[in-house]
Amino acid sequence: TGYRAESGLAKYREGHIPGAAFMDLIRGFSDTSTGLGFSLPAPGALAEALGTAGIGNDNPVVLYSSGHTMWATRAFWLLRYAGHDRVAVLNGGLAAWRDAGHTLRSGDETYASTDFVPRPRPEIFVDATAVQNAMNDERICTVNALSPEVYAGTGDHHYGRRGHIPGSRNLFYDRLMDGQRFRSAEALRDALQETGMLDAEQVITYCGGGISATIDAFACLLTGKNSVAVYDGSMSEWVRDESLPLKTGETP
């Protein structure tokens, strides 16, 4: 059984942080031709979407989500891929803003379109071939960000074939969060260290469709581990090729 995401536009229009525009990750910031739900757009298409949203190379950007923080970290990963450095994620998202007693605004807000010049960082996303190569490379720590049940292949939820990519370890993204906030730096470091991510030369994170994997990847950045990439296609792509192996159970 797959996972279907729904646009957050209606929630945005009900109430958003004053001055915030809406970023449509499902259509505006994904290559919709792959059939995978979420796929990294080509650099030119991504740059055009950023410019249309009013984001220029020098504009500071703060990202937040009305739902799970993973949508903001996915957007962060896209902007970082495009070469934008002045990007932050609002820890706790809309809920934290509301809980702090700040006001919301309804309706739509937009920024004037501008030009964004892409300076792609191709190394922060990887494809299935790179993940296959990593399976036999002890220097690379590949990490599945899904729940222990999905990782082991024992739960009701799966992506068409059960299990995880052989050799990959499990760090459920929820372990890194306290509600919609990231846990303390010490707690993040402990979880990453336990999974072997901090000692690896490189980390690759994956999930179902390249969204929750950005929580694990972002946690790496928060702890100073910068050599981390996200497998964009993740399980949604991997399971489509029957020749690509999967392993069930609780061990890598």
CA–chain centroid gap for 29, Å, is 13
Q: Which residues are catalytic?
A: 207
3-class SS of residue 136? coil
**Closest-CA residue to 43 (of 121, 112, 127, 113):** 121
**Residue spans of beta strands (DSSP E) within 25-183:** 61-63, 87-89, 125-126, 140-144, 169-170, 177-178, 181-182
CA distance linking residue 205 with residue 110, whole number of Å = 33
What are the structure tokens assigned to 82, written together? 């495009």
Tokens 């690509």 correspond to 244
In terms of phi and psi (left: phi > 0; alpha: psi -120 to 50; beta: otherwise), the region of 104 is beta
One-letter identity of residue 173: Y
H or E element, residue 159: none
- In sequence order, the 6+-apart residues with CB closer than 8 A to the CB of 24 are 7, 9
Q: Which residues contact 225 (CB under 8 A, 6 or more apart)?
A: 192, 197, 198, 203
Q: Cα separation of 92 and 69, whole Å? A: 7
Give Dmax over CA atoms of the chain in angstroms: 53
